Structure 1
Amino acid sequence: MKIVVLIKQVPDTAEERRLEPDTGRLDRDANEPVIDEITERALELALTVKDKDKSTEVVVLTMGPSEASKAIRKALSMGADSGIHVLDDALSGADLTITSAALAAALRNTDADLVIAGNESTDGRAGIVPAMIAEHLGYPLLGSLLSADITHGMVTGERQTEAGTQNVRAPFPAVLTVTEGFDEARFPNFKGIMGAKRKPVATLSASELGVGSTPRSSVLDLAERPARAAGRKIVDGGAAAAELVDFLTAQRLI
Structure 2
Amino acid sequence: MNIVVCVKYVPDATADRSFDASDNTVDREGVDGLLSELDEYAVEQALQVAEENDGEVTVVTVGPADAADAVRKALQMGADAGVHVEDDTIAGSDAVATSLVLAKAIEKLEHDLVFFGMSSTDGLMGVVPTMVAERLGLPAVTFASEVTVDGSTVTVRRDGDTATETITASAPAVVSVTDQSGEPRYPSFKGIMAAKKKPVEDLTLDDLGIEASQVGLDAAWTKVLSFAERPPRTAGEIVTDEGDGGVKLAEFLASKKFV
TM-score higher than 0.5 = yes
Structure 1 residue runs of 5 or longer lacking an equivalent are none
Partner of 1:115: 114
Distance 2:22 2:90 in 1: 18
Partner of 2:19: 19
**Are the structure 2 counterparts of residues 74 and 221 from structure 1 closer, same or farther at C-alpha, using a change threshold of 3 Å?**
same
Q: Within the alignment, does 1:62 sit opposite 2:61 as a pair?
A: yes
- The root-mean-square deviation of aligned C-alpha atoms, in Å, is 1.7
**Are the structure 2 counterparts of residues 212 and 95 from structure 1 closer, same or farther at C-alpha, using a change threshold of 3 Å?**
farther
Distance 2:192 2:211 in 1: 36
Distance 1:240 1:77 in 2: 57
Distance 1:97 1:212 in 2: 14
Equivalent residues of 2:120, 2:126 under 8 A apart: yes
Letter in 2 for 1:105: K
TM-score by length of 2: 0.91
Residue 163 of structure 1: CA displacement? 4.1
TM-superposition CA deviations, 1:162-192 (whole Å, max 9, x none): 5422221211111111111122221111221
Equivalent residues of 1:98, 1:212 under 8 A apart: no
Residue 86 of structure 1: CA displacement? 0.8
Aligned length: 253
Partner of 1:247: 252
Partner of 1:174: 173
Distance 2:35 2:44 in 1: 13
Residue 243 of structure 1: CA displacement? 2.3
**Are the structure 2 counterparts of residues 156 and 234 from structure 1 closer, same or farther at C-alpha, using a change threshold of 3 Å?**
farther
Partner of 1:198: 197
**Are the structure 2 counterparts of residues 168 and 221 from structure 1 closer, same or farther at C-alpha, using a change threshold of 3 Å?**
same
Secondary structure of 2:201's aligned partner: strand
Partner of 2:37: 37
Between 1:108-117 and 1:208-217, the stretch displaced more is: 208-217
Identity %: 41
Secondary structure of 2:176's aligned partner: strand
Equivalent residues of 2:49, 2:148 under 8 A apart: no
Distance 2:6 2:137 in 1: 17
Equivalent residues of 2:3, 2:50 under 8 A apart: no
Distance 2:140 2:203 in 1: 25
Equivalent residues of 2:104, 2:208 under 8 A apart: yes
Partner of 2:158: 159
Q: Within the alignment, does 1:82 sit opposite 2:78 as a pair?
A: no
Partner of 2:4: 4
Secondary structure of 1:98's aligned partner: helix
**Are the structure 2 counterparts of residues 220 and 46 from structure 1 closer, same or farther at C-alpha, using a change threshold of 3 Å?**
same
Partner of 1:237: 242
TM-superposition CA deviations, 1:124-157 (whole Å, max 9, x none): 1121111111111111111112222233212212
Secondary structure of 2:93's aligned partner: coil
Letter in 1 for 2:52: K
Partner of 1:216: 220
Residue 27 of structure 1: CA displacement? 0.9
Distance 2:251 2:155 in 1: 49
Secondary structure of 2:45's aligned partner: helix
Equivalent residues of 1:159, 1:165 under 8 A apart: yes
Structure 2 residue runs of 5 or longer lacking an equivalent are none
Residue 48 of structure 1: CA displacement? 1.5
TM-score by length of 1: 0.92
Distance 1:205 1:25 in 2: 22
